[in-house]
A = this chain, B = another copy of it.
Amino acid sequence: MEALKQKIREEGTVLSEQVLKVDAFLNHQIDPALMQQIGHEFARRFAGLGISKIVTIEASGIAPAIMAGLELGVPVIFARKYQSLTLKDDLYTAKVFSFTKQTESTIAISAKHLTSADHVLLIDDFLANGHAAQALIDLIRQAGASIAGVGVVIEKSFQAGRAELDAQGYRVESLARIHSLEGGQVSFLD
């Protein structure tokens, strides 16, 4: 998606060979018009698949997910993160290890909002090592729902998450695929 790549080139900051900072338009300050274009693009790529619900994770997944939900005409659920969580019967839970923060948290979705009748599009802002995506897949499977695909705003293709999802047979659509951040430069895959 060219508008997104352009935005990354202009406003993204390469902090290291692993870390791209996009807090100017995606995960702290958000550009609503770009989010609308992103939602439109996700809806186009996942059209006609009978998606009934979008699942994402707080907080940075919400903006792109809500715009995709608006275009596809389906509700969005965001998994909540907890530092500690007293287990409740009415929640699906999974653990996520954050590589950036080096901490483990629990994410949860209320059981009443996701059922075996749902066909789910998973959306997130970043795909790196894939820990968040795998935890979301875990939650969706606990509900007995099926997975239509995974929509990612920015994929760091040089980390393990994408290859793992491919190997598991999921359809992954990433709107910007980053081949490398070496030398402080963003180099895209295509």
**Which chain A residues have a beta carbon within 8 Å of chain B's beta carbons?**
23-25, 28-33, 35-36, 58-59, 62-63, 66-67, 69-70, 73-78, 80, 83, 109-110, 113
Contacts and interface: CB of A to CB of B under 8 A. Distances in A.
Contact of A66 (B23, B32, B78): B32
Nearest to A70: B32
Please classify the interface of chain A as helix (H, G, I), strand (E, B), loop, or mixed, using the class held by over half of its residues: mixed
**Chain copies in complex:** 2
Given A58-B58, A63-B66, A77 B33 contact: no
Contacts of A58: 58-59
A113 B28 contact: yes
Contact of A75 (B32, B75, B78, B109): B32
Nearest to A54: B32
Contacts of A75: 25, 29-32
Contact of A69 (B24, B32, B59, B78): B32
A26 to B, nearest CB: 11
A74 B30 CA distance: 9
A36 B39 CA distance: 13
B80 A35 contact: no
A2 B109 CA distance: 29
Given A29-B75, A32-B76, A58-B59, 10 more contacts: A28-B78, A28-B110, A29-B77, A30-B69, A31-B75, A32-B66, A58-B58, A62-B63, A63-B76, A83-B83
